[in-house]
Amino acid sequence: MPSVIKEFTKGLWDELPPFRVVLGLCPTLAVTSTAENGLGMGAAVLFVLTLSNAIISALRKIIPGKVRIACFIVIAASLVVAVELLMQAYTYSLYQRLGIFVPLIVVNCIILGRAEAFASRNGVIPSIADGLGMGLGFTMSLTFLGALRETLGNGTVFGIPVPWEAFRPAHLMVMAPGAFICLGLILAGMNAFNRHMSRRKGEIPTEPKNAACASCAACNLCATARKEN
C-alpha cells in the first residue's frame, strides 16, 4: 500500500507534468488561454491516462514487445474517441474551443511515456495510481497556467473579473508568446523553489556550477564538464 501512495503522489510534485517532466507541451501551450480550457483539457487527459494505464498494464503480458507502441496507440485512441463523444454530448462548447487538441491526446507524450515507462512494467493497481497522480498533476498545472494567463491577459479567472478596476490586461498573455513566457516563468520559479528547499535541508544543489552547462546534456562529449568532475 505505501508504494501505491508513493506512485500516486510522485505525479503531484516530484515528477509533475508538464513542469517537472517537460512532456505534453503541445496542449499545455495551445489550449491554456483560459482556466476553464486548461481544466477541461486536463480532465480529458486524466480520464484517458488512468484508463490507458489500467488497460495496458492488464494486457502487458500479451502485448508483443515489437509492436507495443502500436498497441499503446490503439488503446489510447479508443479511449480518446470515448472522451470525444462524451465531450460532444455534455460539454459541447468546451469541445469546440479545444478543437483539434482533443483528438491529439492520442499522441500526447505523457500517455505514451507513462505506458512505456510504467504501465507496461507494473501491475494494474500501481498503474492506476500512477495514472491518477500524473493526470491530476497535469490537470492542476494546466488549470494554474490557464488561470495565470487568463488573469494577466484578459483580467478574468474562470470568467469572473479580477477585483481591480484600473487593471489593463496585457492581451499578449492569451496569445501564443504569452504561453511561452508564463511557462518559462513557472519553470524558473519551481527550480528556484526546489533549490531553496534543498539548500535549507543542507543538501548540495545538484545543478552544475557553469551556467552554460545547465541547458546542455552533452556532458560526455564536453571538455568543460570533464574538468569540473
Partner 1 sequence: MIHPIIKAMSDNPVRLVVSPPPHWRSGRTIQGMMRAHLLALVPAAIMAVAIYGVQAAAVIGMAGTAAVAAEVVCLRLQHRDVNVDNFSAFYAGVLFAFLLPATAPWWLAAIGGVVTIALGRTVFGGFGCNPVCAPLVAWAVCRFSWPDAMDIDLNLAHFMANSPVDQLKYFGVQSLSQFEYMDLLTGHQIGGLGSSQVLALAAGGVYLIASRWTRLFIPVSFLAGVAGAAALFWFIDPTAYADPIFHLLAGSTVFGAFFLATDTASSPVGRLPQTVFGLLAGTMVIVIRVYGVYPDGVPFAIMVASLLSPLLDRLRPKFFGVR
Beta carbon nearer to partner 1, 59 or 162: 162
Beta carbon nearer to partner 1, 67 or 214: 214
Beta carbon nearer to partner 1, 39 or 152: 152
Residue by residue, DSSP assigns 105-167 as GGG-HHHHHHIIIIITTS-HHHHHHHHHHHHHHHHHHHHHHHHHHHHHHHSEETTEEPS-TT-
Q: Contact positions toward partner 1, by CB under 8 A?
A: 168-173, 175, 177, 181, 184, 210-212, 222-224
Beta carbon nearer to partner 1, 82 or 172: 172
Residues 119, 120, 121, 122: is their CA dihedral positive or negative? positive
CB of residue 9 to partner 1, shortest distance in Å: 32
CB of residue 193 to partner 1, shortest distance in Å: 15
Measure Cα distances from 208 to 22, 85, 123, 222, 225 in Å: 19, 48, 37, 13, 9
Neighbours of 29 (CB within 10 A): 17
CB of residue 28 to partner 1, shortest distance in Å: 20
What is the Cα–Cα distance from 78 to 120, expressed in whole angstroms? Answer: 18
CB of residue 55 to partner 1, shortest distance in Å: 43
CA 87 to chain centroid = 20
CB of residue 149 to partner 1, shortest distance in Å: 12
Beta carbon nearer to partner 1, 89 or 212: 212
Measure Cα distances from 44 to 37, 92, 105, 200, 208 in Å: 11, 13, 8, 38, 38
Beta carbon nearer to partner 1, 121 or 171: 171
CB of residue 185 to partner 1, shortest distance in Å: 10
